[in-house]
Each structure stands twice: as C-alpha cells, then as structure tokens.
Amino acid sequence: MRTARKLTIIFAGFFYVLIILTHSLNASVIQIEGEMGSTVTAYIKRWFSSYEGTKNLSYRIYFPKTFTEGINTQIISNFRKSFTPYPNDLREFTDEFGNSGVELIWNKEIKIVQLDLQFTVKTYTNFSPLSSIASFPATIDDDKRIFLTSTDLAPKNDFYINYIGRSISKGLNREIDVVNSIFLWIDRNIRLSNNPENKAQYDALSVLRKREGDEKGICNLTVALMKGLGIPARIVYGVSFQKEIRIVAENRNIIYDLPNSERYWVEIFFPDIGWVSYDPHGMYFGTISHVIKLSVGPDTDFVSEAWRVEQGEAEIQKEFIYDIKSDYSNITFKKYSSLDINKLVLSPYLPDVLEYQDEPNLEIEGLIKETIPEELEAGITGITGMIHHNSDISNSLDIDATRTRVYAQKFDIEYPIVLSEVNLPLLKFSDEGTIWVEIYTDTNGVPGKLLFRTYSINSTKLRFMMIENPWLSFPVGKKTKASLESGGYWFALRSSGSCIFNWYASEGNVFGHEIDTVYRDVNVKKLNWNNILNYDMNFQLIGTREEEKID
C-alpha cells in the first residue's frame, strides 16, 4: 500500500522519537541490532516569492547520490529536475567534498520561482554490532585530510576546542572510545535548544560557551572537537521521511519516527568501518533508513542550500512529499545503557566501548558559561507574566491529540505561583466537542492527582487549520484555587466528542528533563501514563509569582 506524507514549512525541519515504556525507565541509550530498508519516491519542492524590484536571484542546490558508507546504503534512480521559469544561467558543479548540484541564476526581475526535484531512493541500514580496532591517534590517508578542514564555524585549532578534546581523549587508545566519549560529553554538557538566539549564533565556540545550541550549532561543535583531535569529520545535510518503526524491548514497545523535514547530522570516519553518524536529536553511530543524504562538508553553512538576491527581498517555502513504495524493519532490542544525558538515544549494539574519565574544567577563563541577565528571567514577584514556556513553533511537529489519546507535559517551578492561563498552539482537524487543560501533581515521574482545570472551549466555534495564528488561550477561572507551590507538575490537553487537534511540539528534548512528555490511551484496560516521548510540547504558562512562605 502506498503512503504519502506531506508538509509545508518556511525554513523549518523537525524530528520526533516516540518511546512506549514504563515511567520507571532510567535508560539513556537504547542499543539495537538488525536491519531496515525502504523504497521511496521523493518530491522536494522550493518556491521563491519576491517583492517588486527584486533582481538577480541565485540559488545553489545539491543533488542526492548513490553510496554505501558504514552501516548505511543509499541508491538513487529516476532523478528529474525542473525549474520554472528557466534560469538565465545554469551551472552544474562537483565540489572538493564530492557533492554535485547546480547553481541557478535569474538576472531579471522575477516574482515567483519554483524548483522541483523528483527521484526514487532505496535506503538500507544494517544495525550489526559495531566494533573497531582503529587506534587513536589515527593515521589519516591523504584523501581524508580534506575532512580535517578548519572553518570559522567549526575551527579545529582553537585553544578551548582543543582543551576539551584533549581532556576527553586522555588515556583512550582506540578511536571508537574517543568518538563515543565526545558523543557523551556533548549530550551531557550541551543542551539542544530552539532558543531563537541559538539559531543566529551556531558557531562551535558560541555553542560551547552558552552550553546550548540548535541542531546546526551542536553539529558544528561536534565536528570541531573531532577535527581538533585529528579525526576526519563532516556535517551532513539531508531530508527525512515519516514512517513509524516499532522495536520490542523486553515487555515494552519502542516507536521511532522522523517527520518530513530537512535536517543536519554529523559523520565521523573510521579506517576500518568507514563513516558513522551522530544526530543531536538522539542517534549514535548510525542513522535509520528514513533519511536521505544530500550534501557533506566542513560546516553547516557549506552544506546548506544557499540563495541570495542582489537587490530587493525574497522568501522561500519548502515542501517535502514522499510516496513510500515499501518499508520493512527487522530490529531487535539488545540492551539499555543508563547514562547521565538529557535525552533518549538510539544506537547499534556497542560491545566493550569505553568512555572518558577526566571531566574538562569548564570554569576556566574563556569557558565560563554565559548567564542570562536577571531582567530577562521569568516570574517577577507580584507581576502577572510568563512563568514557563516553550514557544518557538518554527521547527515544530504536529501531534494528533484526541479524546482517547491524552498528552501531558511536565514543568518545574522554583517559587510559588498562581496560574491564570495556559496557551497552546493547536490546529483543528475535527469538530464536535470541547477542549480544556488539566493540571496534575507529579507522582513518581508521571501525572498524579488532578488539581484543577481551565475553562473549556467549544471546538465548533474555532476555525479549521488556523496556521497563521494557532495559539489558543485556556483561562483559569477566578474562583479556581490555582496556587502552586515550588516543585514539579504536569498539564494535559483533554477533549470530548470527536475532537482532533494537532498540538505543536519541539523536536528533541529542548525543555525540561529526559522523561517529561507522556501520553495515555484511555481505551486500554489498564489506564496509565506509560508512553514516554522524546519531544516537548509547545506551550505558554501565564501566572503571578507569589512571596515565599516562611515557616
């Protein structure tokens, strides 16, 4: 049966992981073994729209290639491309990193430009147990030295980058131990974040000093650390398609999925096993077969599709449509590794891999964490305002929330508050019913006792698909006892009737803790919150900070 999935975005990409486990799970890395493969027809579209007077638009786009590297294989066929209107100049190229593509130039005023790529791709991933005897420091062949190239975004000779790398690799004699240690150090110390400031500052040093970064920034820092240690590394730009993977793990099911989007990840070279991957959203030493590689290079700017205008302004829209011809997954669970990282990670089975012992000193001058000015912190006593939020929906995914599938998000507060309003970004897809928000205590890491609820909204009074402004406000009644002491709480979106709403969520774990988003299925006999998700719902909590109570 054919499956087509479609999404339109403006400079957006997203990814999500759904884990169905018991709430007592304390594992960070889920190691698997087996194979998976897919055959997909991909339709990748771009539109440029410009204002009057915009001239000399140029655009560089990469084409997918056939390859077998590490545990991944990609075979491209039936490749087609079209450009409307046809450019005044078209220059095909192959660069020093092996990428191929085309640069397009329109040297007259153009209001609308459309670019279409269509191809069939067969992808295959072999999650066999991964081991390597490659020594560290590594001996590098001449053809791989280009992947030690230093750039402003990912510098290999920076003092602080090299200090971190040397500290992590101290006493380790195998490349696989060093690479594994860098993955762990990154995920223990650098938080994946969708803060708008991180989207503007994604060079390795900014990410290191802030201890957080978006997908691009963490990738740049990772390759900088690798290259500083003489390990060939590169950034990958590509796209992903949505098709659920189910893994049986003991008495639990692990469901892993990627939405239709563009994305960045990292590849590291081993002399004996080839290129292996790291994805800051939660993948070590490989990727699943639901990603398509388009380009590789020394940093995220190099691999990205690039466009510019010499005069005027232009906007770009991107659309990804996939016709999944076939898909199979034969994956078995091997073991959990409980590690001190703030995310759930999927990895091939790694027998006898070591990790670093010496923690770098991050309190030395030049590495002290940049702090947020106090005037920007939320929750000023006696003033109603934003208490907590995860507001950036530019890189969000859509989660179907219904009467039977109830999603909940945890939040922690460090001071007593009175909650007055909950705002959620929701798109209506089905009518007939009401929606509201419930607030719960935290009991052993899942929603516990119901404390109170907001006012309800009649879904028939809401318009369908309010994409331009999806935020809905759920006020708390003035007579409701909505005081919350410091501690952990949950809120959940509830509905009645046949309501179906898409609730926006942020890729990766960008808010709170490792296990802070759950759902429950009210149709099952044993009602519990045993479904754990590795993404965070988008929301805004409005309230008033109260004075601390003194005993």
Cis status of the peptide bond prior to 196, with omega within 30 of 0:
no
550 in a structural domain: no
Domain count, the chain: 2
Residue 255 maps to a domain = yes
342 and 384 co-located in one domain: no
Residue 360 and residue 228 in contact, taking contact as beta carbons nearer than 8 Å: no
pLDDT digits (tens, 9 = 90+) for 459-469: 888 888 777 78
pLDDT digits (tens, 9 = 90+) for 376-433: 344 445 577 899 998 888 767 778 889 988 999 999 999 999 999 999 999 988 878 9
Examine the domain organization and report whether 303 and 436 are in the same domain: no
147 shares a domain with 22: yes
How far CA 427 is from CA of 13, 299, 398, 401, 463, in Å, comes to 18, 36, 9, 10, 9
Q: Judge if 381 and 312 occupy the same domain.
A: no
Segment 513-545, tens digit of pLDDT: 777 888 888 877 667 777 777 778 999 999 998
Range with the largest mean pLDDT of 8-22, 431-445, 506-520: 431-445
6 occurs within a structural domain: no
User: 3-state DSSP call for residue 446?
Assistant: strand
Specify the CATH number for the domain of residue 496: 2.60.120
- Among the candidates 309, 330, 348, a domain finishes at 348
Average pLDDT over residues 335-340: 81
Of 25-29, 99-103, 186-190, 199-203, the least confident: 25-29
Residues 492 and 447 grouped into a single domain: yes
Domain membership flag for residue 116: yes
Strand partners, 365: none
Domain boundary among 333, 348, 363: 348
Residue 26 has pLDDT above 70, yes or no: no
Beta strands (DSSP E) in 169-288 are 191-192, 212-213, 233-240, 245-249, 252-257, 261-270, 274-279, 283-284
Q: State mean pLDDT over 304-312.
A: 86
pLDDT at 373: 46
Domain that holds residue 162: 15-348
Q: Is the pLDDT of residue 11 over 50?
A: no
Among the candidates 348, 365, 389, a domain finishes at 348
Whole-angstrom Cα distance, residue 313 to residue 51? Answer: 6
Same domain, 344 and 387: no
pLDDT band, residue 164 (cuts 50/70/90):
very high
CB environment 301-315: b (16+ within 10 A), e (fewer): bbbbbebebeeeebe
Span 502-520, average pLDDT: 82
The answer to whether residue 10 sits within a structural domain is no
Do 425 and 320 share a structural domain? no
pLDDT at 52 over 90: no
CATH of the domain at 69: 3.10.620.30
- Tell whether 1 is covered by a domain: no
Return the residue matching tokens 């429950």: 520
Mean pLDDT of the region 262-266: 95
Q: Is residue 363 part of a domain?
A: no
> 193: pLDDT confidence band, cut at 50, 70 and 90?
confident
With 80 as the cut, is the pLDDT of residue 20 above it?
no
